[in-house]
A and B are shown apart, each in its own frame.
Chain A
Amino acid sequence: MTTLTDPPKESFRLSMLLNDSRYRSITIQIVALIAFLTLIGWLLNNTAQNLADLGKEPSFRFLSQPSGYDINQRLLDYSSQDTNLRAAFLGLLNTLLIAVMGCIAATVVGVIVGVLRLSNNWIVARLMTIYVEIFRNVPVLLWIVFTMAILIETLPAPNKFRGDTPEASMLLGDSVALTNRGFYIPEPLFSRSLGDVHVLGESSLRFNVSLDLIAILATLIAGVLIAGLFAKRADRIQAATGVRPKTWHWRLGVIVLPTAALLVGLGLHLGYPELRGFNFQGGTYMRNSLIALWLALSLYTAAFIAEIVRAGILAISKGQTEAAAALGLRSRRIMSLVVLPQALRVIVPPLISQYLNLTKNSSLAIAVGYMDITGTLMGITLNQTGRELETVLMTMLIYLTISLVISGAMNVYNNSVKLQER
């Protein structure tokens, strides 16, 4: 006699697709997929039909046609005979330029403001609060056009620098000229230059790499690495004897001396801007649009970074500081050995997303006429070729790539500093 029987074999019924939670998830997903594909198909079909009606079948041939417009602030050689692709490439470089400049300036200002907001000096803390609130609560586009208007309306025109008793004069020993067309600053020149390397021949993506720059960077990096060896040796001696030998002069020397020697060898000198005729010649010319965008973006983002830094420092519990003080560390070492390493873990992820925001906000360059990727590819190229679909999609893809690269780097960092729990 058996008391155990197999449970009745369940046969599959159609209603189980809706009522049995094992199958229902599949049903829902299939319905969602069908709806999604239908939507995409519908959009693509409409697009194809509309473009065919307009006689604008998608094609990327416009990229190899001459652009026919000039890019006034650029990092590489370019003329209006160059292709649209090269214009877009220069635009991309301009985007990256403003992004890097902005991120550096915003970090410097933001960290200073964030720390000062926590200052026990009442008036400084209040001033910094006012700065943060004013900049955070007003649109960044307004700051950009505002700064641009201020630069144009309040700075003197280049011809004001002329004559025996000029109305305006250059700053810092006649080396910097602030005019309403832009800033002229000294440029580094090498009298015994090593020359440039031309990469990619005549193609649209060609660029030059300065051998001087590579040599300087290589020397600097080598110096830093050797300085690191000195520090390691000092660590070893400290671990063995308890006394840390003084190495900072060695480390500094190893970094500074070879670089200085190289710079002298290359014949570094500054090329100053000079007033010739109605305008300045020589030096590096930074247009108003670049300056306005840079100032506005950095000050705006710095207000957010200040809040992030403040929150990060406040997130470290007071016990940590007190414990470090009880161990006999001095306040500077408490900051660098105990508070900062922990605060950075809180600060860095939102900081990087602010960098991302800054990069995306740099697309507002189009409002002041700075020729970044939005201004070239999605601006003038779009208007001249009428290729809305292609240009807008390309621009989106480029920004998407930049964002994904930055956030990918952030994930790598996050994983490397993550607390190892259990």
Chain B
Amino acid sequence: MTDLSYVRSEMLPERDPPVSTSGVIGWIRENLFNGISNSVLTLASLAFIYWVLSHFIPWFWSPTWNGTSLGQCREMIGAAGKEGGACWGVINERWPQILFGFYPEELRWRPILAFVLMFVALIPILFNMISRRMNWFLLALVLFVTTLFVASGWLAVVAQGLLVVAMIWIGRLILMTKVTDRAEQIKAGAKRLPNPLIFSSAFVFIMPWLLWGGTLWTPIAAAFGFVVGWGVFRLLAPKVGDLAGLIVGVVAAIVWWLFLIGPVASGLNALLPVGLEPVQSRYFGGLLLSVTIGVVAISVSLPLGIVLALGRQSDLLLVKWMSVGFIEFIRGVPLITLLFVASFLLNVFMPPGTNFDIILRVIIMATLFSAAYIAEVVRGGLAALPKGQYEAADALGLDYWKAQRLIIMPQALKISIPGIVSVFIGLFKDTTLVSIIGLLDPIGLSNSIRADVAWNGVVWELYGFIAFLFFIITFLMSRYSMYLERRLRTDHR
């Protein structure tokens, strides 16, 4: 081997990149000061941020939590030696009202319990990461805590005992078995806990009962309507065919709901009175009202919207034109006109003598409103599916509903999730419009608070607080939609 001494035999140590292009300084140069116009923009933004914060922080940090009127707040601010500041007394005094309206104070555990239970009921629908056992454990825990707070007497003690036993049993299951072992046991035929979706569907009937009170037999009888319809369908379908069975089943359920619920519920209540103290709709208000309207309208409008979208895509000409007419009419008018219909006209459309609840009327119109928008979103999803999917479903010999349920809808709904969630967010924000027809949602309450002599002139604190409440809820909803999109993304991007 000849001597190759001019070839370097070891690597030189790597040199650090220049300070100006790496680290914090590099990042700043890259992102904030690359070029004259960008530097100007950066400085202007910094000045703006400084201006906002220099006004906001002293204003926000104001010792007025215990003020009882605007005048007293000003005195407290003056005593603290400040120029001006927020008057947090109004929030301190009125936040229960902004959250619950005029719902009786001693009964407020009911809406709270309803909304805590709502999350328990939503978990199996929203997230698939929590196991059945965890979900049932959570439910038992919530109910146990509730009984500690609101109930007393031997019945409560019995219920608490049962719940503790249930929690210990489920907790042992959770702690003792590993997830993988459990999966093998299930494969080998071990029994599973019942699906938590049972509770989720029961919750649909529990929530109105908790909020409005009254006898327990009414929600039970309402739920029994589904049993009636299903029973009639199962009984008749083998004899007269699926379609006729379905129609008769639906009619039977409607007859049950319209005419038989009242007598059955009151009869059962006379035999065994179980119930909660009724709360009338006029006591509902604040965020409670917004969330109630929003949740009910959202959950009912989704199936309705899907049906409308299918109707609009249908080959049946009449069905198609009816769906198109409905959707375009609803989308063409502002929600406020529909709320005026709810307020003034819905009772006129009903048989003489009917006078049903204003909140129910508003919920009906809000449901129709968002159903039309959801129908358009779902239609977008349906249209985005390649035609081959429909043809493949046909080729497999699936009938219309099976094809929709197994092939079309899972894909179409996945495409439409961002749109559906933004319709829901829009609907939740639009629940504030009920203040215009005189219901006391947070904005309606803010008007009456500002009309109060003690708080005349309060602006930023009050509206800022309400905006904050809405912001949190809608922001979480939009983040959830992003999470769902990621979870359902099956292509490899």
Contacts and interface: CB of A to CB of B under 8 A. Distances in A.
Contacts of A363: 334, 336-337
B436 A403 contact: no
A19 B241 CA distance: 8
A51 B316 CA distance: 36
A25 B333 contact: no
A121 B34 CA distance: 8
Please classify the interface of chain B as helix (H, G, I), strand (E, B), loop, or mixed, using the class held by over half of its residues. Answer: helix
A19 B460 CA distance: 66
A297 to B, nearest CB: 12
Question: In which size bucket is the chain B interface?
Answer: 35 or more
A43 B475 contact: no
B318 A392 contact: no
B115 interface: no
Nearest to B343: A388
Given A51-B348, A150-B459, A153-B459, A122 B32 contact: yes
Contact of A141 (B41, B349, B443): B443
Interface string A20-51: 00001100110111001000000100110111
Contacts of B45: 121, 123-124, 127
B239 to A, nearest CB: 12
A149 B467 CA distance: 14
B348 A145 contact: no
A149 B459 CA distance: 6
Among A119, A120, A149, the most chain B Cβ lie within 10 Å of the Cβ of A149
Contacts of B436: 141, 364, 366-367
Contact of A403 (B41, B48, B332, B349): B332
Nearest to A126: B45
B71 interface: no
Contacts of B260: none
Interface in A130-146: 133-134, 136-142, 145-146
Contacts of B48: 127
Contacts of B344: 382, 388, 392
A291 interface: no
B48 to A, nearest CB: 7
A33 B46 contact: no
Contacts of A395: 337, 340
Interface string B1-44: 00000000000000000000000000000011010001001100
Contact of A378 (B329, B340, B446): B340
A388 B42 contact: no
A209 interface: no
Interface string B101-122: 0000000000000000000000
B457 interface: yes
B74 interface: no
Nearest to A128: B45
B319 A32 contact: yes
A361 interface: yes
B352 interface: yes
A366 B336 CA distance: 10
A392 B243 contact: no
A120 B334 contact: no
Nearest to A386: B344
Given A36-B322, A403-B331, A141 B435 contact: yes
Contacts of A378: 337, 340
A266 B41 CA distance: 43
Interface in B462-489: 463, 466-467, 470-471, 474-475, 478
Interface centre among A47, A396, A404 (most CB of B within 10 A): A396
A225 interface: no
Contacts of A29: 316-319
Nearest to B45: A123
Interface string A395-412: 110011001100000000
Contacts of B347: 50
A382 B467 CA distance: 32
Contacts of A360: 333-335
A133 B38 contact: no
A28 B401 CA distance: 14
Nearest to A120: B31
Those 10 A-B pairs whose CB atoms lie nearest each other, nearest first = A403-B332, A139-B429, A360-B334, A388-B344, A122-B31, A400-B332, A363-B334, A137-B474, A29-B318, A139-B432
Given A119-B38, A145-B447, A399-B334, 20 more contacts: A31-B247, A32-B316, A32-B322, A46-B349, A51-B348, A120-B31, A121-B32, A123-B32, A137-B475, A139-B470, A142-B466, A146-B463, A146-B467, A150-B460, A374-B336, A374-B337, A388-B340, A389-B345, A392-B345, A400-B332
20 contacts: A25-B315, A31-B247, A43-B349, A121-B45, A123-B46, A124-B42, A137-B475, A138-B470, A141-B435, A141-B436, A142-B463, A360-B333, A363-B334, A374-B337, A378-B340, A382-B344, A395-B340, A396-B333, A396-B337, A399-B332
